[in-house]
């Protein structure tokens, strides 16, 4: 019975998995994302950056698993960033930065990149692993100044990639997406399905082993 472990504190990613029939064990990685991005250099491709972060998160979680879980599990690591004007944008962190990001992306199209890593752990060791990045085009509306101020005051955009959500309050300001919506939320079901298959796991078996409570 293979336990699915989500190496992320993201409530959106957790909702994606639960909505797709898998109730994972959540273990937060705590990796230093800034140092990893810096080590890749300014010319790294967006897909390579988010994939490296996803791999680092999955690796970190694998190292701290309890023996009973590490006997048979699949660790998922993910990282998302918005690519616009030749720059990758992560979590703004402050209201001022969130406002700056929104002023630059309102009424435009950005590319939401999510890196994914799945590590198949057996008897405590990483037996197999696979990584992939997915990209979805996001079409932003132009919120009224009062609406944008209220959104930023809610605190939601401060701790999410690109200062927006699709499945939360930010959904009011998204005109549409071209590609996998779950990728925008932070965990693309299609790409994760492929990664599971590549490490020898079937969705039906994972449903049975990780049933919703």
Enzyme catalytic residues: 79
Sorted by sequence, the CB contacts under 8 Å of residue 8 that are 6+ apart come out as: 14, 26, 28, 29, 57, 76, 77, 78, 186, 187
DSSP per-residue letters across 136-187: EEEEE----HHHHHHHHHHSGGGGSGGG--SSSGGGGGEEEEES-HHHHHT-
With CA atoms as reference, report the closest residue to 63 among 117, 7, 131, 132.
7
């Amino acid at each position: 019975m293979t336990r699915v472990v989500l190496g992320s504190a993201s409530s959106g990613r957790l909702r994606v998995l639960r909505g797709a029939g898998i109730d994972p064990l959540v273990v937060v990685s705590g990796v230093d994302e800034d140092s990893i991005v810096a080590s890749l250099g300014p010319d790294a491709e967006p897909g390579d950056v988010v994939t490296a972060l996803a791999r680092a998160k999955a690796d970190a979680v694998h190292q701290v698993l309890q023996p009973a879980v590490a006997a048979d599990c699949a660790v998922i690591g993910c990282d998302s960033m918005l690519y616009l004007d030749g720059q990758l944008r992560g979590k703004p962190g402050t209201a001022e930065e969130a406002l700056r990001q929104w002023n630059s992306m309102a009424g435009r199209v950005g590319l939401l990149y999510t890196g994914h890593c799945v590590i198949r752990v057996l008897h405590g060791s990483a037996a197999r692993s696979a990584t992939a990045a997915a990209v979805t085009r996001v079409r932003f509306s132009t919120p009224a100044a009062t609406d944008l101020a209220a959104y930023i005051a809610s605190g939601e955009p401060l701790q999410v990639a690109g200062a927006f959500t699709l499945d939360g309050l930010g959904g009011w300001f998204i005109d549409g997406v071209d590609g996998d919506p779950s990728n925008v939320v932070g965990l693309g079901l299609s790409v994760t399905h492929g990664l599971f298959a590549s490490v020898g796991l079937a969705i039906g078996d994972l449903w049975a082993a990780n049933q919703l409570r």
